[in-house]
Structure 1
Amino acid sequence: MSTTLTAVAAYLPETEFTLEEAAEVLGLSDQELKRYRRFFGLDRVRWAPQARQADLLVEALRRLPDLDAHRSRIRYAVHARTIEPTGPYAAQPLHEALAAVGLGHVQAFAISQHACASGLLSVDLAGRLLTADGDPDALVLVLTGEKTYPHVARFMPAAMVMGESSAACLVGLDGARDRVLAYTTRTFGEFHAITARSGPLAAQFEQMYIPALADLITDTVAAAAAGLTLADLRLVLPHNVNRISWTRLGRLLDLPLDRLMLDNIARTGHCFCADPFINYVRALELGLLRPGDHYLMASVGLGATFSAMLLRH
């Protein structure tokens, strides 16, 4: 049975911060600011200063179409995270968010093993859970999006600004649209210690990053039983780290830039595991996906885990 995206919704906070305003919060130098704008293609970031973690998840949940109709079918809820959850035992943002929308009875847990690629891992895991349960009508709720606490965000590599947009995705089996055709993930454990902004290890990672991602995307498309090639991809929905790396990857794979969904890089920043799903919603808003189109979601998480998922709309 095929894993299917039954519904996807995204929440973008109304409050926008310019790159200059974000630089003050994150302690970026003038030189870094210029590099972020000129080379990385960043311009603004969405933050919700008054919102808590649970609030971000609730906002995404409330945007899911027909949530009331699906509520009785949801068996599991997974919060795909980049950073492992911390805090008092009694403070459980995931459970709080689920209770707020009448899903407090659902078995819920978080995963962060693939860092920013945990969202795609969660979709794959959801399909495995549903297949094992044997109920063809059951659903799994995948939630993505986190708070960008400055003392944490400053430890991200200097190629992004973290945003607080979130997404919610209902995963089912054998739906009519958005079927998963292939999922590939690779972890390059030698880069597990990258947290600094420079150094030999970071330089090695930068050199291998684009070729490794290109190989992963090529292999994922080739893994589909339909005999697809890169030319059959209507869209690539990336993680919103920066524009320059995706531009270079497009050249390497001979993919036209209009097949790379890069609009949100400038307007949302990198939103942890939520990026591919936010980009999916944006693609639908712009009418870029038609029934039968093939598209690919891609994410890379610190660790370093590279993941790609091929789907048919």
Structure 2
Amino acid sequence: MRVRDLYLSGIGVYLPEEIQSAGSAVAKGLLPANEVEARGVKGAMVAGEMSPPEMALSAARDALKNGGVSPDELAALLYTSVWHQGPEGWGPQYYLQHFLVGDDLLAVEVKHGCNGTFSGIELAVGILRAEPDRRAALVTASDNFGTPLFQRWDAGAQNGVMGDGASAVVLTKDSGFAQLLSICTASYSNLEIADRAGEPLFPPGITEGRVLDYKTRHAAFGKQIVNADIGAEMLVAHEQRSKDCLNKALAEADVTAADIKRVIIHNVAKGDAEAYLGVLGFPLEQSTWEFGSTIGHVGASDHMISLHHLLTTGQLSPGDHVLLAGMSPGVTYKAAVVRIADVPSWSRSLTD
């Protein structure tokens, strides 16, 4: 999707103070010692008893404040997450409505895995364009993985480790610190089985007290494709769709790979990050992986947390182009390009 008429005006993040180190995880038997160096992960943020909606509320308040947008200017609240948010049969977006944005707007939960923020932004583009008087939309993401049925250090999600936290971004039709140039989606549904192999579709495992275990599912899927002799074919198609999504985002932004200053990807294991960036044609050093390795894979919040980090540590300047890219179960592929229009005052105050 080609975009020129919308801006990112504010970002807010909630980053827990506690960071559990890889060393402490090994000592507690949560992570095999021989995998620490291979994965490259250094730590994971841990939110303790802080609920995801409470973290999202904090991030949303900061995003609105930083963007100079009041809650009554919002046309939509899009709340995305990866893991469970609170009582079953209840929606976390209503918590933010109750305590922050009010009732006179569309408020929905977007379930699209760790690509949820991308999807929320993409939906917000259409929502804001639909009516001329709609001025702003809020996209939030939040997760706390510290629950009994989740293995933070060994769930098998791209061999990384899951960190807790939240992010929020405000999109406006008015000027902002970054102009959204493009946002694109691709998918390869033949691979949906990779994340459910060996598990029944019903009843859901969580209702029977089964721990989420991608490693076992992926192993079962690996046996299936070996037996069917289609592994190489699927890998080629998988990589091609990822490239196609990236190339489309660059083309619709009217830039080339050489114009990209920094690349933001999901906070995954080092080998997976290098392989993914290699397919896209970027070195690891150009990405935010080093920062991400210290906080963990924060569900759908990785990209906004990393963009916030780049801004508040003085790593971006006006005119810089930033590529945001990722994939999640489905398989869905996402890519977006933003151009930094100004270094916002809220980020400068954090570096002073």
Residues 221 and 79 of structure 1: is their aligned pair in 2 closer, same or farther, counting only changes over 3 Å? same
Amino acid at match of 2:16: P
Q: Percent identity?
A: 20
Q: Who is 2:302 aligned against?
A: 275
Deviation at 1:20, TM superposition (A): 4.4
In structure 1, the partner of 2:312 is: 285
- C-alpha RMSD over aligned residues: 2.8
Q: For residues 98-156 of structure 1, what are the alpha-carbon distances to aligned partners after superposition, in whole Å with 9 as ceiling and x for unaligned?
A: 322353544311111x32112101101101101002225x2111001212134145655
Q: Is the 8 A contact 2:10 2:176 kept in 1?
A: no
In 2: Cα distance, 1:60 partner to 1:187 partner: 30
Tell me, in whole angstroms, the C-alpha distance in 2 between the residues paired with 1:8 and 1:270: 18
* Displacement after TM superposition at 1:242 (Å): 2.1
- 1:219 aligns to what? 248
Q: Residue 232 of structure 1 aligns with which residue? A: 259
CA contact (8 A) 2:76 2:136 kept: yes
Q: 2:126 is matched with which residue? A: 128
Specify whether residues 119 and 237 from structure 1 end up closer, same or farther in structure 2 by C-alpha distance, changes over 3 A only.
same
Q: Between Structure 1 and Structure 2, how many residues are aligned?
A: 304
Q: Indicate how the Cα distance of structure 1 residues 86 and 286 shifts in structure 2: closer, same or farther if over 3 A, else same.
A: closer
C-alpha separation in 2, matches of 1:61 and 1:104? 16
**Partner Cα separation in structure 2 for residue 92 and residue 24 of structure 1:** 37
After TM superposition, list the pairs within 5 Å mapping 1:144-223 onto structure 2. Answer: 144-148=141-145, 149-153=147-151, 156-157=156-157, 159-195=159-195, 196-197=214-215, 198-199=218-219, 201-202=221-222, 204=231, 207=235, 212-223=241-252
1:265 to 292, 296, 308: 292
**After superposition, what is the alpha-carbon deviation per residue over 1:234-288, rounded to whole angstroms, capped at 9, x for unaligned?**
1111111222223234445543443211133222110111000000000101212
CA separation of 1:252 and 1:124: change in aligned 2, threshold 3 A: closer
**Amino acid aligned to 1:9:** G
Judge conservation of contact 2:155–2:161 (CA < 8 Å) in 1.
no
1:146-194 Cα shifts (integer Å, max 9, x gaps): 1213414565535111111110111112525422212221111112122
Report how far residue 28 of structure 1 moved: 4.4
Q: TM-score, normalised by structure 2?
A: 0.77
Comparing 191-200 with 266-275, greater Cα deviation is found at 191-200
Contact map agreement 1:238 1:262 (CA 8 A) in 2? yes
The 3 A distance-change label for structure 1 pair 156 and 86 is farther
Query: 2 CA distance for matches of 1:277 and 1:87?
Result: 26
Post-superposition shift, 1:10? 1.3
Compute the displacement of 1:29 (Å).
5.2
TM-aligned CA distance change 1:106 to 1:263, over 3 Å: farther
Residues 245-256 of structure 1: matches in 2 within 5 Å?
245-256=272-283
**In the alignment, is the contact (CA less than 8 A) between 2:264 and 2:323 conserved in 1?**
yes
String of CA shifts for 1:12-35, please: whole Å, max 9, x gaps.
10111122444688x7452xx432
Distance 2:99 2:71 in 1: 13
When residues 199 and 156 of structure 1 are mapped into structure 2, their CA distance, relative to the original with a 3 A threshold, is closer
Residue type of the partner of 2:320? D
3-state SS of paired residue (1:192): helix
Q: Is there any run of 5+ residues in structure 1 with no aligned partner, and where?
A: none
Deviations 1:41-71 (A, max 9, x none): 2111011111112211122123223477422
Q: Which of 7, 12, 19 is the equivalent residue of 2:22?
A: 19
* Residues 46-125 of structure 1 aligned to structure 2 (within 5 Å): 46-64=45-63, 65-66=65-66, 69-83=69-83, 87-89=87-89, 91-112=90-111, 114-125=112-123
Cα 1:51–1:29 shift into 2, 3 Å = closer
Distance 2:158 2:177 in 1: 37
Q: 1:265 to 1:193 in 2, by over 3 A?
A: same
**Residue 6 and residue 34 in structure 1: after superposition, are their counterparts in 2 closer, same or farther (change >3 A)?**
same
TM-score by length of 1: 0.86
Compared CA separation, residues 75 and 251, structure 1 to 2 (3 A):
closer
CA deviation profile, 1:208-230 (whole Å, cap 9, x unmatched): 56564344323321232x3x210
* Shift of residue 296, structure 1, vs aligned partner: 1.0
Structure 2: gaps spanning 5 or more residues: 196-213, 226-230, 341-352
